[in-house]
Structure 1
Amino acid sequence: MSVQQQLDPIVQEFVDALNANDRDRFHSVLTEDATMSDDGVERDVEQWTDSEVFASNGRMQIETVTDGGIELLADYTNSRWGSMRTSWRFTVRDGKISRFETGQA
Protein backbone atom coordinates (compact mmCIF):
# COMPACT_ATOMS: atom_id res chain seq x y z
CA MET A 1 0.00 0.00 0.00
CA SER A 2 1.42 3.40 -0.99
CA VAL A 3 1.81 6.16 1.60
CA GLN A 4 -0.89 8.18 -0.16
CA GLN A 5 -3.33 5.28 0.23
CA GLN A 6 -2.62 5.26 3.97
CA LEU A 7 -3.50 8.94 4.46
CA ASP A 8 -6.80 10.09 5.88
CA PRO A 9 -8.66 11.51 2.83
CA ILE A 10 -8.80 15.07 4.20
CA VAL A 11 -5.09 14.94 5.07
CA GLN A 12 -4.43 13.80 1.49
CA GLU A 13 -6.41 16.82 0.27
CA PHE A 14 -4.32 19.09 2.56
CA VAL A 15 -1.09 17.68 1.09
CA ASP A 16 -2.38 17.90 -2.48
CA ALA A 17 -3.52 21.52 -2.03
CA LEU A 18 -0.21 22.47 -0.40
CA ASN A 19 1.80 20.83 -3.19
CA ALA A 20 -0.34 22.57 -5.82
CA ASN A 21 0.24 25.92 -4.07
CA ASP A 22 -3.56 26.33 -4.19
CA ARG A 23 -4.47 28.69 -1.35
CA ASP A 24 -8.26 28.43 -1.79
CA ARG A 25 -8.23 24.65 -1.97
CA PHE A 26 -5.89 24.51 1.03
CA HIS A 27 -8.11 26.69 3.20
CA SER A 28 -11.21 24.75 2.14
CA VAL A 29 -9.92 21.68 4.05
CA LEU A 30 -9.50 23.64 7.29
CA THR A 31 -12.21 24.47 9.81
CA GLU A 32 -12.89 28.18 10.28
CA ASP A 33 -11.27 28.03 13.71
CA ALA A 34 -8.28 25.87 12.71
CA THR A 35 -5.13 26.20 14.81
CA MET A 36 -1.56 25.10 14.32
CA SER A 37 1.88 24.95 15.87
CA ASP A 38 5.38 24.87 14.40
CA ASP A 39 8.14 23.31 16.50
CA GLY A 40 5.83 23.51 19.53
CA VAL A 41 5.08 27.23 19.14
CA GLU A 42 1.50 28.30 18.43
CA ARG A 43 1.26 30.19 15.13
CA ASP A 44 -1.42 32.09 13.25
CA VAL A 45 -2.53 29.73 10.49
CA GLU A 46 -2.97 32.44 7.83
CA GLN A 47 0.37 34.16 8.52
CA TRP A 48 2.31 30.90 8.79
CA THR A 49 0.89 29.34 5.63
CA ASP A 50 1.40 32.56 3.68
CA SER A 51 5.08 32.68 4.70
CA GLU A 52 6.01 29.00 4.86
CA VAL A 53 3.83 27.60 2.07
CA PHE A 54 2.41 30.02 -0.48
CA ALA A 55 5.00 32.82 -0.66
CA SER A 56 7.88 30.33 -0.53
CA ASN A 57 6.55 27.57 -2.81
CA GLY A 58 6.28 24.92 -0.10
CA ARG A 59 6.25 21.25 -1.11
CA MET A 60 5.84 18.08 0.90
CA GLN A 61 7.07 14.61 -0.05
CA ILE A 62 5.67 12.05 2.37
CA GLU A 63 7.99 9.36 3.72
CA THR A 64 5.81 7.51 6.24
CA VAL A 65 2.23 7.59 7.50
CA THR A 66 1.06 6.40 10.94
CA ASP A 67 -1.82 6.66 13.41
CA GLY A 68 -4.60 5.88 10.96
CA GLY A 69 -3.41 8.37 8.37
CA ILE A 70 -3.23 11.50 10.52
CA GLU A 71 0.46 11.51 11.38
CA LEU A 72 3.30 11.61 8.90
CA LEU A 73 6.97 12.23 8.29
CA ALA A 74 7.84 14.20 5.20
CA ASP A 75 10.62 15.96 3.40
CA TYR A 76 9.39 19.56 3.36
CA THR A 77 11.01 22.01 0.97
CA ASN A 78 10.45 25.71 0.42
CA SER A 79 12.47 28.57 -1.01
CA ARG A 80 12.87 30.17 2.42
CA TRP A 81 14.51 27.31 4.37
CA GLY A 82 15.41 24.68 1.78
CA SER A 83 14.70 21.04 2.54
CA MET A 84 14.15 19.50 5.96
CA ARG A 85 12.67 16.37 7.45
CA THR A 86 9.45 17.27 9.23
CA SER A 87 6.74 15.62 11.28
CA TRP A 88 3.07 16.47 10.88
CA ARG A 89 0.07 15.58 13.04
CA PHE A 90 -3.53 16.43 12.15
CA THR A 91 -6.74 16.66 14.12
CA VAL A 92 -9.78 16.00 11.94
CA ARG A 93 -13.21 17.25 13.02
CA ASP A 94 -16.41 17.00 10.97
CA GLY A 95 -14.51 16.11 7.80
CA LYS A 96 -12.05 19.02 8.00
CA ILE A 97 -8.72 19.69 9.68
CA SER A 98 -9.18 21.62 12.92
CA ARG A 99 -5.52 21.55 13.93
CA PHE A 100 -2.15 20.64 12.52
CA GLU A 101 1.19 20.46 14.25
CA THR A 102 4.47 20.42 12.41
CA GLY A 103 8.13 20.62 13.27
CA GLN A 104 11.53 19.30 12.41
CA ALA A 105 11.81 15.57 12.85
Structure 2
Amino acid sequence: MTIQTTRLSDPAVRAFVRAVNHHDREGFLALLAPGATMADDGAEHDLAEWIDREIFSSHGHLEVDNESNGGRCLLARYRNDTWGEMRTRWSFTVDEDGRISRFETGQA
Protein backbone atom coordinates (compact mmCIF):
# COMPACT_ATOMS: atom_id res chain seq x y z
CA MET A 1 0.00 0.00 0.00
CA THR A 2 1.35 3.40 -0.94
CA ILE A 3 2.15 5.93 1.79
CA GLN A 4 0.86 9.39 0.92
CA THR A 5 3.73 11.87 0.57
CA THR A 6 2.14 14.15 3.19
CA ARG A 7 2.37 11.27 5.72
CA LEU A 8 6.11 10.62 5.35
CA SER A 9 7.81 11.04 8.73
CA ASP A 10 10.97 12.99 7.93
CA PRO A 11 10.34 16.58 6.72
CA ALA A 12 13.39 16.67 4.41
CA VAL A 13 12.53 13.31 2.83
CA ARG A 14 8.88 14.35 2.48
CA ALA A 15 9.99 17.52 0.66
CA PHE A 16 12.40 15.48 -1.53
CA VAL A 17 9.59 13.14 -2.66
CA ARG A 18 7.25 16.07 -3.26
CA ALA A 19 9.89 17.89 -5.36
CA VAL A 20 10.56 14.76 -7.44
CA ASN A 21 6.88 14.10 -8.05
CA HIS A 22 6.13 17.74 -8.94
CA HIS A 23 9.22 17.99 -11.19
CA ASP A 24 10.39 20.93 -9.09
CA ARG A 25 14.13 21.05 -9.80
CA GLU A 26 14.62 24.39 -8.02
CA GLY A 27 12.80 23.16 -4.91
CA PHE A 28 14.75 19.90 -5.05
CA LEU A 29 18.10 21.69 -5.16
CA ALA A 30 17.08 23.90 -2.22
CA LEU A 31 16.72 20.75 -0.07
CA LEU A 32 20.35 19.75 -0.59
CA ALA A 33 23.18 20.72 1.70
CA PRO A 34 26.24 22.32 0.06
CA GLY A 35 28.44 19.58 -1.37
CA ALA A 36 25.70 16.95 -1.21
CA THR A 37 26.59 13.56 -2.69
CA MET A 38 24.71 10.55 -3.99
CA ALA A 39 25.14 6.97 -5.14
CA ASP A 40 23.04 4.69 -7.37
CA ASP A 41 23.39 0.91 -6.96
CA GLY A 42 26.58 1.51 -4.96
CA ALA A 43 28.29 3.69 -7.59
CA GLU A 44 29.03 7.35 -6.88
CA HIS A 45 27.57 9.78 -9.43
CA ASP A 46 27.78 13.48 -10.15
CA LEU A 47 24.63 14.63 -8.38
CA ALA A 48 23.59 17.40 -10.80
CA GLU A 49 24.09 15.19 -13.85
CA TRP A 50 22.29 12.21 -12.28
CA ILE A 51 19.20 14.15 -11.14
CA ASP A 52 18.84 15.78 -14.54
CA ARG A 53 19.08 12.42 -16.33
CA GLU A 54 17.21 10.16 -13.89
CA ILE A 55 14.61 12.55 -12.43
CA PHE A 56 13.96 15.81 -14.22
CA SER A 57 14.50 15.21 -17.95
CA SER A 58 12.87 11.76 -17.69
CA HIS A 59 9.84 12.72 -15.53
CA GLY A 60 10.75 10.69 -12.46
CA HIS A 61 8.04 9.74 -9.97
CA LEU A 62 8.20 8.04 -6.55
CA GLU A 63 5.45 6.03 -4.89
CA VAL A 64 6.57 5.11 -1.37
CA ASP A 65 5.51 1.68 -0.10
CA ASN A 66 7.41 1.62 3.20
CA GLU A 67 9.59 3.81 5.39
CA SER A 68 11.99 2.99 8.22
CA ASN A 69 14.78 4.61 10.25
CA GLY A 70 12.58 7.55 11.21
CA GLY A 71 11.52 8.08 7.60
CA ARG A 72 15.07 8.27 6.24
CA CYS A 73 14.92 4.91 4.48
CA LEU A 74 12.27 4.25 1.85
CA LEU A 75 11.11 1.34 -0.26
CA ALA A 76 9.40 2.79 -3.29
CA ARG A 77 8.25 2.17 -6.82
CA TYR A 78 10.21 4.57 -8.98
CA ARG A 79 9.40 5.23 -12.59
CA ASN A 80 10.74 7.46 -15.31
CA ASP A 81 10.51 7.69 -19.09
CA THR A 82 13.91 5.99 -19.53
CA TRP A 83 13.62 2.86 -17.38
CA GLY A 84 9.90 2.40 -16.72
CA GLU A 85 8.97 1.31 -13.19
CA MET A 86 11.18 -0.52 -10.72
CA ARG A 87 11.21 -1.30 -7.04
CA THR A 88 13.87 0.85 -5.38
CA ARG A 89 15.36 1.61 -2.00
CA TRP A 90 16.38 5.10 -0.91
CA SER A 91 18.36 6.18 2.14
CA PHE A 92 19.00 9.75 3.22
CA THR A 93 21.50 11.54 5.44
CA VAL A 94 20.03 14.77 6.76
CA ASP A 95 22.31 17.37 8.37
CA GLU A 96 21.58 19.39 11.51
CA ASP A 97 20.06 22.16 9.36
CA GLY A 98 17.47 19.74 7.98
CA ARG A 99 19.06 19.57 4.53
CA ILE A 100 19.96 16.38 2.70
CA SER A 101 23.73 15.91 2.57
CA ARG A 102 23.63 12.49 0.90
CA PHE A 103 21.19 10.07 -0.63
CA GLU A 104 21.69 6.57 -1.92
CA THR A 105 19.31 4.69 -4.18
CA GLY A 106 19.24 1.43 -6.06
CA GLN A 107 17.08 -1.47 -7.02
CA ALA A 108 15.45 -3.26 -4.10
- Where on the TM-score scale, by shorter chain, does this alignment land: which range? over 0.9
CA separation in 1, counterparts of 2:87 and 2:103? 16
| Residue 68 of structure 1: aligned partner | 70
State the 1:6 CA deviation.
4.0
- Return the TM-score normalized by structure 1: 0.95
Does structure 2 conserve the Cα–Cα contact (< 8 Å) formed by 1:6 and 1:68? Answer: no
| Residue 24 of structure 1: aligned partner | 26
Kindly report the root-mean-square deviation, in angstroms, between the aligned alpha carbons of the 2 structures. 1.1
Uncovered stretches (5+) of structure 2, i.e. residues with no partner: none
Q: Percent identity?
A: 50
- Correspondence 1:29-40 to 2 at 5 A: 29-40=31-42
Question: Paired residues, what number?
Answer: 104
- Correspondence 1:1-105 to 2 at 5 A: 3=3, 4=5, 5-93=7-95, 94-105=97-108
Find the residue that maps to 1:21 and give its secondary structure. coil
Uncovered stretches (5+) of structure 1, i.e. residues with no partner: none
CA separation in 2, counterparts of 1:16 and 1:44? 22
Find the residue that maps to 1:7 and give its secondary structure. coil
State the 1:7 CA deviation.
2.5
CA separation in 2, counterparts of 1:47 and 1:7? 28
CA separation in 1, counterparts of 2:93 and 2:31? 12
